[in-house]
Amino acid sequence: MNKKNKIQFIFTLLVTFCLLSIITHAQTKSTDIKTINGKKYYIHIVEKGQSLYAIAKTYSMDINSVLAENDDAIDGLKNGQTLKIPLESLLPKQISTIDTNKYVYHKVIKGETLYAITHHYNIDEKTIKGFNPSLGYGLKEGDQLVIAEKKNNKQSNPIETSKFNDPQIVSTYTVLPGETLFSISKKINVSTETITKWNPDVKDGIKVGQVLSLGKIKTDVVSSTKPLLVEKEKITTDTIRFKKDKKTAYQIGLFLPFKLEESEAITIEDLMRSKGSFPNAQNVSLDFYFGFKKAVDSLISKDFDVSISLFDIQENDSAKVEAICKTSEFKKLDIIVGPLYASVFKQISIKAKSLQIPCVSPLTQQSKILFNNTLVSKVNPSQYTIIESLADFCFDSLRLNSKISIVSATQKDAPYVKAFKKRYNDGILKINKSSKDSIIELKGLSAVKNSIVIGKNNVVVLLTNNPVYLQDFITQLAVFSHKKDIIVLGFESITSIDNLDQGYLNDLNFHFATANHIDYTDKNTMELTKQYQQFYFTDPSESYFEGFDIGMYYLSHLKVKGFEMFTNLDQLPYIGVASGFKFSKPDISSGYENRAISIYKYSNFKLKKLGWK
């Protein structure tokens, strides 16, 4: 064997060994099962080289269910780390048994996109994701997707999807692992006899993935403009209809870190006058409260009244939260806003779900708080939503006659780069063009300088929050940019880097995407600021405007629609003083995430708003 062949042979052995190691890791299932707080878990010890995706697949689990039980795993896995893997997934699994008599299927071909599939069958993305939760991980060639449930066994028209799209005609429920007919009846508050009447085949038992009908039309009622269900409550595919009627007076709970004990239990009136002397955490909470209260005061009328209950909740107050949730005051709440921290927010939202109390998360970016709870809504978009909006803007407005490059600082920025490229390339594929080499990844300023093409828009996307790297990069690029067409995109945090000359951002035509931005030249902002200064003798923080916007959004719709607004937040867009509201649902069993993002541009040393998505 010559030297060249020997090297190739050794290289092949090494690659094979690595692949076998990965496969072994992915297929090693723990036999250590423990019961924690009444729930059974596999106790999995992370081995070197294992990924979260591989571990989830090993246990036939979705990644989100693993993350929901292991908060620290969201930042990456470490060798020797202990994970709790639930025996049953928290999210509905994709229907695994192919039943062509009951469902319409589509086999994914190479290069096919979700956009193309939804348009081919004339169905919306939310519907197809409801049948196929694993779509959150992307499409791959050969996947069998459930497109629709056939109206009857003899019909195979894939466009007939009204059975699960229109809850006024009939609604469905997909059986989850471990569920019984009795547990489902308790979950949806309908008797087992009624479910059996709607689904005669359940007499022989139910199975995972089985779709149950949950309502029939009263055909003898012809005078009504809407069909009626046999049961008093109409049950939709994603949530149980509110049993609460529209009211004239509502009780709102604000769960914020006021730290009242540290403030010697002084009254809220004293807090309002003395807020300037408190630490930042308290100022954030107080300003949010003042803004929310301002919205309440502007909406109250003779047929709409709002009372606010304040709950002082810190990040580690799980025992305190447990005690509060048992009180009659908690059970009487109509809406909960907060807490600010993901762990205690999840604890409260679970308790509130059984009481049909909608919960609003005003601050956290973590999407996992939405899982398996349709009564939760998250106002602050995730960082990935911001990145996707940057990619959308780049595709919609900068794609033509442009060369697009991505620059990141460290390996930690790699997920940002991946998310941007995927979103942008999805747009390319939608217009039936190849995404190959559509975006170039560059390392360092020298690579960017060498890539500049005269006569084209050179778009440089900075996907990092490292202030030291950004200050040096932007300063040198601005000096280099004279008489060159360079457009820089990035995060809003770049605008607040200390010692960074704002003139450089103007020279580089800097664009950024943001969920919250306050224009202090806007007349509404100026009026709110003036009123605040007159009462509190200081300037308001961003939290004041955020509290005002959240109060105006939720309470104005509550005033008109009552509790039913929480079942269709995706149909209620709104532009506030600092924030926009444009909700969507990651999947059919989750709550709502706000995806409203604004794009701003530096132009003539001023910020210009280009619109919001």
Q: Render pLDDT for 193-250 as a digit per residue (tens, 0 to 9).
A: 777 777 877 766 777 677 777 664 333 333 323 332 333 333 343 444 667 889 999 9
| CA–CA gap between residue 217 and residue 523 (Å, rounded) | 51
Residue 14 confidence (pLDDT): 38
Residue 132 confidence (pLDDT): 76
Measured from the Cβ of residue 581, the count of other Cβ atoms closer than 10 Å reads 22
Q: What is the mean pLDDT of residues 153-160?
A: 36
| CA–CA gap between residue 611 and residue 613 (Å, rounded) | 7
| CA–CA gap between residue 113 and residue 202 (Å, rounded) | 36
Burial of 584 (0-12, 13-18, 19+ CB in 10 A): middle
Confidence of residue 538 (pLDDT cuts 50, 70, 90): confident
With a CB cutoff of 8 Å and minimum separation 6, the contacts of 590 are: 370, 371, 372, 373, 374, 376
Residue 37 confidence (pLDDT): 77
Q: What value does the mean pLDDT of the chain take?
A: 78
Which residue's structure tokens are 């994603």? 238
The radius of gyration of the chain's CA atoms, rounded to the nearest angstrom, is: 27
In degrees, rounded to 5, the angle at the alpha carbon of residue 394 between the alpha carbons of residues 379 and 474 is: 90
Which residue's structure tokens are 């890791």? 25
Q: Which pLDDT tens digit goes with each residue over 556-579?
A: 999 999 999 999 999 999 999 999
Structure tokens at 34: 């423990």
Which stretches of 73-154 are DSSP H helices?
A: 114-121, 125-131
Residue 175 confidence (pLDDT): 74
Say if residue 125's pLDDT is above 60: yes
Cα–Cα distances in angstroms (integers) from residue 65 to residues 83, 286, 591, in the given order: 12, 35, 15
Q: Which pLDDT tens digit goes with each residue over 308-321?
A: 999 999 888 889 99
Say if residue 497's pLDDT is above 60: yes
Residue 228 confidence (pLDDT): 29
**pLDDT > 70: what percent of the chain?**
72
**Pairwise pLDDT comparison (22 vs 41), residue with the higher score:** 41
Burial of 356 (0-12, 13-18, 19+ CB in 10 A): middle
Residue 21 confidence (pLDDT): 41
Residue 218 confidence (pLDDT): 33
Residue 234 confidence (pLDDT): 37
Say if residue 49's pLDDT is above 80: no
Confidence of residue 172 (pLDDT cuts 50, 70, 90): low
Confidence of residue 594 (pLDDT cuts 50, 70, 90): very high
Say if residue 121's pLDDT is above 80: no
Residue from 314, 360, 313, 312 nearest 334 by CA:
360
Say if residue 265's pLDDT is above 60: no
Confidence of residue 158 (pLDDT cuts 50, 70, 90): very low
| CA–CA gap between residue 106 and residue 214 (Å, rounded) | 26
Structure tokens at 331: 């059970």
Domains of the chain, first to last = 3-86 (3.10.350.10), 103-213 (3.10.350.10), 249-381+522-600 (3.40.50.2300), 384-514 (3.40.50.2300)
Q: What is the mean pLDDT of residues 88-113?
A: 60
